[in-house]
Amino acid sequence: MATQRMQVTDQDLLYFVNTIKSTSRYDFSEYSDKSLKRRLQKILEDYNLDLTSLLTNLRLDKDFLEKVVKEITVNTTELFRDPPVWHLLRSRILPRFKSNKTINIWHAGCSSGQEVYSMMILLNEMELLDRAKIFATDLNTDVLEIAKQGVYKYRFNLGYLDNFDKVIKHNPLNFEEYNDVPYEKYFDIDKVRDTITMKKFLTERPIFRKHDLVVDGNIFFAKFDLILCRNVIIYFNYSLQNKVFELFHSNLYPKGILLLGMHETILGPWATRFERLGQAYIKK
Amino acid sequence: MYKAVIIGGSAGSFQVITRILHSLPPTFPLPILLCLHRLKHVRSGFVEALSIKSAIPIIEPNDKEQIKAGKAYLAPANYHMYVELGNKIALSTEDPVNHSRPSIDLSFITAAQVYREKLVGIILSGANRDGAYGLKKIKDLGGLAIVQNPDECQVRTMTEASLKMTPVDFVYNTNEIIKFLQNIKA
């Protein structure tokens, strides 16, 4: 039950954000209030602390602060989350890169890596993987470790297989076409150990790095053909969203593409700098 | 008098919602927020199915979309839907609450905090307890709480849980809910 015993106030949130800001390089002051409040609430409940004790611990204990920061970020993801977006990638977006020598792709906010593996699987089916350079970042180093391993729970994630079938086995442009691509081509399923394990040719390919969209710029000394940033900016306020759009825009090649989440849009000044194609924004 | 209506429902609520939306005039003076449980992987077709008989447009909103009168905002599958100050929608992919995403409790609580006494909350048929706490929150902050008559519900768990937690203002059959909404004033 969502009983909220101690209601976190705006003032509490401000103290919390300021404490983190003054004792670390993290800055949550431009995060969206509603979600941040809920995360703070959860942290207070999980550690059974009142706000004063939490703030004291944050100031005194760097490891504790790192732990709390990790718990603030939301890490929901799945293999081929939102199949219609992957259909768009397959039919309208990735074919644009067919004559490229290299395809630079940045997964900003990659969480535990399911999106990165989905992308590599799709690229491989389209015979584009060899040309792709995959960069993937997240604020949370724990989820990055999981991403590098590429091992996921099996039973909890049966939806992954449905999504795989929808995106990989069916052709969105031709519903009569069916390619029986075996799962073992990309991952091994172990029902006893309850795991899905990505193949080595996939896990060894991406470059995973810690990165904070709030304070870090482009850390890769490369520009990108495609940037995926899905269900990340919903946690940012309008002003921070615009900063992030600027970062993405300036690090995309001309005609490069920014892909946002299913229910995210560019509002405000950066909207005119991109041409929209569904969830994809093409740099003008 | 009111600024918004929020409706939560789960198993057995689809037909009730369809009837309600069918009966409202295109000039309905308030925004309607809909938080309905549905299967995670069934996302296409739901808006269309609801829209067929609805006089007011039904939208699966984007994050930070402005909330406007005369429209119904349906929480997108697999996202929580919040109301933010400034009368905006906020979406989140945080963990499910009460095994649900969207969670009715979360939508109701955040709407209550923004609209306070100017909010009408309605709980319909459903098979779990999500929404009961949210409806209490609406009542606590001065809003109006309505529960569908459990005797009329296909599944009565959700309405009974709500009634147990909060002394609601009205227990209504679908027809009475419709009549109430047809007479509501902004």
pLDDT tens digit string along A213-231? 999 999 998 999 999 999 9
Average pLDDT score over residue span B84-102:
92
pLDDT at B55 over 80: yes
- pLDDT tier, A3 (very low <50, low <70, confident <90, very high otherwise): very low
pTM: 0.90
Inter-chain residue contact B90 with A34, CB threshold 8 Å: yes
Q: SS3 for B47?
A: helix
Span B7-182: which CATH code? 3.40.50.180
Q: Provide, rounded to the nearest whole percent, the portion of chain A with pLDDT above 90.
A: 86
Average pLDDT score over residue span A91-99:
95
- Active-site positions of B read 10, 37, 130
Q: Which of B62, B105, B129 sits opposite A263 (nearest CB)?
A: B62
Sheet of A224-229: strand order equals A207-210, A132-138, A103-108, A224-229, A252-260, A280-283, A274-277
Average pLDDT score over residue span B36-60:
81
A76: closest CA of chain B, how far (Å): 6
Contact A116, A79 (CB under 8 A): no
Inter-chain residue contact A162 with B41, CB threshold 8 Å: yes
**Predicted pLDDT at B44:** 64
Inter-chain residue contact A263 with B63, CB threshold 8 Å: yes
Look up residue A17 and give its two tokens.
């954000």
Which positions in chain B touch A1 (Cβ < 8 Å)?
98, 105, 129, 132-133
Separation of alpha carbons B117 and B119, rounded Å: 6
pLDDT at B147 over 90: yes
CA A149 to chain centre: 16
The nearest alpha carbon in chain B to A34 belongs to B84
Cα-only R_g, chain B: 14
Which positions in chain B touch A3 (Cβ < 8 Å)?
133
Adjacent-strand bridge partners of A282: A257, A275
Q: Which of B40, B94, B133 sits opposite A38 (nearest CB)?
A: B94
| Poorest-pLDDT segment among A135-149, A193-207, B38-52 | B38-52
Which of the 8 DSSP states describes residue B168?
-
Separation of alpha carbons A78 and B80, rounded Å: 16
Look up residue A162 and give its two tokens.
């449905």
Contact B37, B14 (CB under 8 A): no
Q: Give the angle subtended at the CA of A65 by the CAs of A61 and A71, to the nearest 5°.
A: 145
Q: Which of B63, B91, B133 sits opposite A1 (nearest CB)?
A: B133
Look up residue B86 and give its two tokens.
């400034």
**Predicted pLDDT at A85:** 94
A231-249 pLDDT tens trace: 999 999 999 999 999 999 9
**Predicted pLDDT at A75:** 86
Adjacent-strand bridge partners of A228: A107, A259
Which positions in chain B touch A38 (Cβ < 8 Å)?
92, 94, 106
Query: Which of A262, A264, A266, A276 is the best mutation test for B, with the most CBs of B within 10 A?
Result: A262
**Predicted pLDDT at A4:** 47
**Predicted pLDDT at A17:** 97
- pLDDT tier, B40 (very low <50, low <70, confident <90, very high otherwise): low
**Predicted pLDDT at A56:** 96
Adjacent-strand bridge partners of B34: B7, B74
Separation of alpha carbons A269 and B103, rounded Å: 33
Size of interface A-B (CB pairs under 8 A): 66
Mean of the per-residue pLDDT values for chain A? 94
- pLDDT tier, B42 (very low <50, low <70, confident <90, very high otherwise): low
pLDDT at A96 over 60: yes
Q: Where are the alpha helices (DSSP H) in chain A?
A: 10-23, 33-47, 51-60, 62-72, 83-88, 114-125, 141-149, 158-164, 200-203, 238-250
A40-69 pLDDT tens trace: 999 999 999 999 999 999 999 999 999 999
Query: Is the peptide bond between B102 and the residue preceding it cis, with omega within 30 degrees of 0?
Result: yes
Nearest to A67 by CA among A11, A20, A7: A20
Which of the 8 DSSP states describes residue A244?
H
Q: Chain A contact for B92, CB < 8 A?
A: yes
The nearest alpha carbon in chain A to B94 belongs to A74
Q: SS3 for B15?
A: helix
Separation of alpha carbons A237 and A242, rounded Å: 9
Which positions in chain A touch B134 (Cβ < 8 Å)?
2
Q: Provide, rounded to the nearest whole percent, the portion of chain A with pLDDT above 70.
A: 97
Cβ under 8 Å to A: B residues 8-67: 40-41, 44, 60-64
**Predicted pLDDT at B68:** 97
Sign of CA dihedral A190, A194, A199, A200: negative
A158-178 pLDDT tens trace: 889 999 999 999 876 777 788
Q: Which of B79, B85, B134 sits opposite A263 (nearest CB)?
A: B79
> What structural domains does chain A harbor?
10-72 (no CATH), 83-151+200-283 (3.40.50.150)
Cβ under 8 Å to A: B residues 167-186: none
pLDDT at A192 over 90: yes
Contact A277, A260 (CB under 8 A): no
**Predicted pLDDT at A2:** 44
Inter-chain residue contact A267 with B79, CB threshold 8 Å: no
Look up residue A239 and give its two tokens.
């002003």
Instruction: State the pairing for strand pair A170-171/A280-283.
Output: unpaired
Going from N- to C-terminal start, the domains of chain B cover: 7-182
Average pLDDT score over residue span B110-138:
96
Separation of alpha carbons A156 and B40, rounded Å: 14
